[in-house]
Amino acid sequence: MRRLSNNPFSTGLLILIWGVLSNVFSQAGNITLENKLDKSTVRIGDIVTYTLQVVHDESIEVVLPGRAFVMLDSAMHLLPDDALNIRDYQKYDPEKKDGKIVEGVEYIFAPFLVGKFIIAPLTVTYRTKSDSTLQRLNTEPIQLIVESLKPSETGDIRDIKPQWEIERNWWLLWRWIILVVGSLLLLAAIIYIVIRLRSGKGILSAFEKPPRPPHEIALERLNELLNSNWLAEGKVKEFYIEISDIIRHYIEGRYFVEALEMTTSQLVRNLEEAKIEKNSIDLIQNFLSACDLVKFAKYIPSDSENQQVIEQAREIITRTQIVLEPPSTEAEPTKAQATPAADAAAPATLPEQNESVTETK
């Protein structure tokens, strides 16, 4: 809030004098102001509602006051903004009542200083449709008393009563605990059964076959595509879309990277971040680039180029497929062959895994 002068007392006094003089000399024959507080005495920090209502003829245009207002203490000093703590400001839409227009504003604030205060007059600017001269009319100042939260020392202050010991019924407590836990378990069982039945599964989990390796699925789809005779029927673009989709599905299942919704450059970047062998990345990039020419650039490949793309697809699958190797057949030294010193010094080791995963080159 901006101060009107360096002397807060003179500023507050000038505000009150200006409000009185404005009411005396303003032509307010067709306009009336009413300002009020919802309570005149509050405690510090209480919410206070300050309302201004303007009633005027339809021929009068009114400009209501803005968000801020001024409050003075008993010494006519302006209060700072943080002491007012204005929480909200609302303008009410004009409404017609008994041939007059009724409108107004509402301030909601919470004072944080104790004492007797005066809310300075609010200024309403107005003019008539026949006269463009702006005129002003001020409200009357209102007193607000803010009291402290400290209780009166003269009241009847009594000592604190001793605690009332309540005898605990442990059996009742445990009965409720058992009831609640049992109900939750029953509810969980019902939800589990409903979900299993809705998904077409039995109540108890049945043995499920392990998922097929991605290279088996890819080779099967590739053979089905080659038996479709799409190239002979002239469906070249459809053929390249399908063979590209087969390899992209295979890459997702083999390397666990996003491939279906990626562009070729994005897919290559994902493979590089996954630390895939560079030769395999180059092979995949060359294959997908050849497919993109047919899919997006309307390129018509030759028969030899078609055969080359098929061979590249098959090479990608067979070169990078996961192969389960048989366990090593090398003879290991028996316990009787080991020397006592070696037995004492050698640390315990885990048994070798029966299967190992390698990438064929």
| SS3 letters across 295-360 | HHCCCCCCHHHHHHHHHHHHHHHHHHCEEEECCCCCCCCCCCCCCHHHHHHCCCCCCCCCCEEEEC
Question: For 8-147, CATH number?
Answer: 2.60.40.10
* pLDDT tens digits for range 247-262: 999 999 999 899 888 9
CA nearest 113: which of 170, 66, 43? Answer: 43
Report the C-alpha gap between 37 and 91 in whole angstroms: 16
The average pLDDT across 94-107 equals: 92
**CA distances from residue 352 to 50, 156, 255, 325, 334 in whole angstroms, order as listed:** 84, 85, 25, 13, 15
Q: What percent of the chain has pLDDT over 90?
A: 44
Q: Is pLDDT of 229 > 50? A: yes
Give the confidence band of 349 by pLDDT, cuts at 50, 70, 90: very low
Q: Is pLDDT of 346 > 80? A: no
The SS3 call for residue 146 is strand
Cβ contacts of 153 within 8 Å, gap of 6 or more: none
pTM of this prediction exceeds 0.75: no
Q: Is pLDDT of 355 > 50? A: no
* pLDDT tens digits for range 286-334: 999 999 999 998 899 999 999 999 999 999 999 998 876 666 655 444 4
> Is residue 33 a contact partner of residue 123, using CB atoms and an 8 Å limit?
no
User: What is the residue-wise DSSP string for 122-142?
Assistant: PEEEEEESS----EEEEPPPE
Sign of CA dihedral 341, 342, 345, 351: negative
- With b for 16 or more beta-carbon neighbours within 10 A and e for fewer, the 235-266 pattern comes to ebbbbbebbbebbbbbbbbbbeeebeebebee
| Per-residue pLDDT, 356 | 35
Q: What percent of the chain has pLDDT over 70?
A: 78
| Per-residue pLDDT, 151 | 58
Extents of the domains making up the chain: 8-147, 214-323
Structure tokens at 140: 């009357």
